[in-house]
Every structure is written in structure tokens, then in C-alpha cells.
Amino acid sequence: MIDVSSPADLPRIGFAAWSGSGKTTLLKGVIPALRARGLRPAIIKHAHHEFDVDKPGKDSFELRHAGADQMLVASGRRYALMVETPETDDGRVPDLDMLCSRLDPQRSDLILVEGFKQWELPKIEVHRPSLGKTPLYREIDGVIAVATDAATLDFDGPLLPINDPDAIAAFIIDYLNIHP
């Protein structure tokens, strides 16, 4: 595994696209392809709306809503930390560096970032012309490749086959120069 001392040392690559383009579907294929190559990816996903991973009626939900700023729920198999962030409840994109700092660098080899398209990091755009949306690489910085089902695009970089997560995993490994 890759030897890092902090989450800031973990290599990152983003996946950016318009909603409905298939970022999550693609990542669901890329993650096992990376794991098959001996890598342990961590994921940070941006949600554009208020969300909750807890359920009303559960003790953890009730304790958090009673005023706990942090709620850690743990079992023998997993744990989840929920942190209230009312100071950033203004619609702004959360700070990606702060979120990355919350990851355990001993448990991951790289960070895959879904969303955060305005953040400065290398990105793979997921583009499906059938959605009728303009490509993001014309509007945002950092797009290093486009995963697409288009035969051609006016992109000056690699076009990756959107339905081939193994090829995308290989591109990520080469681009980030990760040696599992």
C-alpha cells in the first residue's frame, strides 16, 4: 500500500458531470476495478441538498437533534460520524481539504471525489451527449480526461470509454502515478 502520513498526502482525482450523467454508476464500477488492482479508494461525495444518513426514531437521530454537534454511531462492523455544520449552511460547497483531513490515511490509497466541480483538482468529466448538456470541460478548470460514449469530442485530451471502468481505473493509476 501507499505510505502516507496524512490525508493531505493522498492523491485525489475528481469526477465531474451534470446531474444524471452517471457519475455514481461509473464510480460503482471504478471502485472494484481499483480494488482488484490492490488499491483502497476513499470517496468524498458532494450533495447539492440537505441530506441525512440517520433515520427519525433511531436513538442517534434523536440525540443529534437534541443538540449534539457530533454523533458517532458504532458497531463491530462499521462506524459513522455525523457532524452538524450550521456555520456553512449557506449553500456553499464544503471545504474539500477539510473533508479530506477527516479521512484515515492508513485505510486508503487515493481519494475519489464526486462533484466539487469548481474545486481545484484533476477531474474526469462524465459526459453523455444524449443528455443534451454542453460539456463541462468548456466551463471548468482541471478536466484531464472525459469518460464518454461519444465517438468524438472537441476535447484536447484523452477520451475514456464510459462503459469500461477497468480502462478508467488504469487511467487513474497512470495519471496519479500510483504503484500498488
Tens of pLDDT along the chain (180 residues) come to 445 555 567 899 999 999 889 988 999 999 999 999 999 999 888 766 555 666 777 777 777 777 777 777 877 887 777 777 766 555 666 778 887 888 888 889 999 988 888 888 999 999 999 999 999 999 999 999 999 999 889 999 999 999 999 999 999 999 999 977
- In order of their start, the domains of the chain are 7-46+93-176 (3.40.50.300), 52-90 (no CATH)
Report the alpha-carbon distance of residue 23 to residue 39 in Å, rounded: 20
Report the alpha-carbon distance of residue 76 to residue 46 in Å, rounded: 27
Strand partners, 98: none
The reported pLDDT for the residue numbered 1 is 47
Strand partners, 155: none
Residues 6+ apart with CB under 8 A from 7: 100, 101, 102, 103, 104, 105, 111
- In 10 A of CB 144, how many CB atoms? 17
Report the alpha-carbon distance of residue 174 to residue 13 in Å, rounded: 12
The reported pLDDT for the residue numbered 38 is 95
Cell numbers that stand for 27 in this block:
464510480
pTM of the model: 0.84
